[in-house]
Amino acid sequence: MLLVTSEHARSLSARKTRTEKAEIRASNVKQRETTAVISQPTYLSWLGYFRIMKEADIFVFLDNVQFEPRSWQCRNRIKSPGGWQWLSVPIKRESQSTICNTKIDNSKQWKRQHWKAIKSCYGKAEFFHLYAPFFKSVYEAEWGNIALLNIHITKYLATQLGISPLFVQASKLGLEGKRTKLLLDICKMFDADRYVSSIGAHEYMKEDGAAEIFEKEKIKVQFLQYIHPIYPQLFGEFIPELSVIDCLFNCGPNSANVMFTENTAANREL
């Protein structure tokens, strides 16, 4: 006859409790909605980019699609005493293919120019000193690839705004679909129940019949329209839709509160 000691009984009881707790956690994970956001890596992204990112459990940098010259993929706007101005990263023309394979033209003095412009425009901003060391390090480093530069900056900015999804590069997933099919395949890979996109993608996804395609896979699709907040800026009249660094340098640790209030976003179904 097997004798069960009190110590052994306690051990069995503890093991059973742990098993039950694990089953409860697993059940909760299955019941919890997983949201995927998929977006191209852009340079010094604007506020709306991070508002959509805030929805994400999984944030996928869509770096395996065609690079578009003169797009947000390689430029953005900051505010100067004379109004807004572009900061553009020069690109080698012969390398232009997918974003992840697009090379920066470092024969141009773009890093020195960008850092000089940022210091000139924001050096007197209240919170510039908090973030200047990071940006100084960015413009002192060597960057050969536009996707890696954009992703590096974006991850830092997300951290400063209190956003921490799982970051993934689409180019590392081994998927070959196009347009809506690619988005769907990424969502399925991460078992997403919900896909959130910017309002700008609404029309082309509608043309692709995304409603039926995603509904078949039981994935809810929502489009977020960002309603730009007004916050303190240097140099007079407020200018919206600048790089998020404009808000960060002027509002500092309060930037997330400025950017993510309930009235800054409106959801629309497909």
Kindly tell me if the per-residue pLDDT of 29 is higher than 50.
no
Structure confidence at residue 22 as a pLDDT band (50, 70, 90): very low
What mean pLDDT comes out for the span 7-34?
Answer: 54
Residue 190 burial by Cβ neighbours in a 10 Å radius (0-12, 13-18, 19+):
middle
User: In percent, how much of the chain has pLDDT > 70?
Assistant: 86
> What pTM, to 2 d.p., does this model score?
0.85
pLDDT for residue 168: 97
pLDDT for residue 164: 96
pLDDT for residue 27: 45
What mean pLDDT comes out for the span 173-177?
Answer: 89
Structure confidence at residue 259 as a pLDDT band (50, 70, 90): very high
Kindly tell me if the per-residue pLDDT of 26 is higher than 50.
no
Structure confidence at residue 91 as a pLDDT band (50, 70, 90): very high
What mean pLDDT comes out for the span 188-214?
Answer: 86
Kindly tell me if the per-residue pLDDT of 74 is higher than 70.
yes
pLDDT for residue 203: 76
